[in-house]
Amino acid sequence: MSGLPLEGLNAPLTALVTLQAEFPHLPAPTVSISTIFPEALALKFYDDDYSAAGFAAFEAWREALDIDPLTVVHSVQADGRTGVLGAHGAFAGAVVELVAYVTVQAPESASTARVSIPACHTH
């Protein structure tokens, strides 16, 4: 059991309520607040259909929160199939973490990739 009282989460809870009031039109994220990082509010976006909508939602929130695009970090998880965007900013007294996960289509393997071989002319 955490020794932190609920009021110890005031910063992210206040930020969440303020976000809802100021940006009700933006895509709903998965929201996470933790007693481990009581000053942080995590907004996460997921895709399961190769559509990259999670990245679009991430970008809409990044713009709304005025997070510098140069601070956005992109990576691919070890499975090679999950692209990740991440960024942090401040809003209403909380640290806001934005994260988006998008499934990356597997590249064609060497055995199935199309190869163009130029015509060979012999004399």
Q: Tell me the per-residue pLDDT of 13-38, one tens digit each, with 9 for 90 and over.
A: 999 999 999 999 999 999 999 999 99
Q: Give the amino acid at 98.
A: L
Q: Are 40 and 88 in contact (CB under 8 A)?
A: no
Mean pLDDT along residues 32-50: 90
pLDDT class of 115 with cuts at 50, 70, 90:
very low
79: left (phi over 0), alpha (psi -120 to 50) or beta: alpha
Contacts of 123 (CB under 8 A, 6+ apart): none
The predicted structure's pLDDT at residue 81: 82
Length of the chain, please? 123
pLDDT class of 68 with cuts at 50, 70, 90:
very high
- Give 102: exposed, middle or buried? Use CB within 10 Å, 0-12, 13-18, 19+: buried
